Amino acid sequence: MELNKAVIDCMRSLRRRLRDEQQLDIHLNQPDAVTAMLAGCMRSNDELTRDLGRQLAAFSDQLPEPPPAPPRSSANSGPSVRIYRGQRVLA
């Protein structure tokens, strides 16, 4: 991977966002910095962080790992429970 200004700027902003969101301390001189950043992006709930991860993946020719699928709940699992003013209520 060629390190040019666009790649370094993307990595810097991504490093800053991941440190603020997930308290990940990634240094740009680490051998696995790109891999760690891409893994952090896939765990992020912020769409801008994910977009920066996609840009970094395109720059580095690495495919990011897909996020884990949410667990599926069956329709026959019974009534759903919600919290309303600190009390559990059936929904």
**pTM for this model (two decimals):** 0.61
Residue 38: inside a domain, yes or no? yes
Angle between helices 33-43 and 47-60 (to 10 degrees): 150
Residue 91: inside a domain, yes or no? no
Residue 69: inside a domain, yes or no? no
In which domain, by residue range, is 56 found? Answer: 5-60
Residue 82: inside a domain, yes or no? no
Residue 24: inside a domain, yes or no? yes
Distance CA 50, CA 91 (A): 33
User: H or E element: which one contains 13?
Assistant: helix 5-22
- Two tokens, residue 78: 């019974």
The domain tally of the chain equals 1
**Residue pLDDT tens, the chain, 91 long:** 677 888 889 899 999 999 998 898 888 888 888 888 988 988 888 889 899 888 888 888 765 555 555 666 555 566 777 887 878 887 6
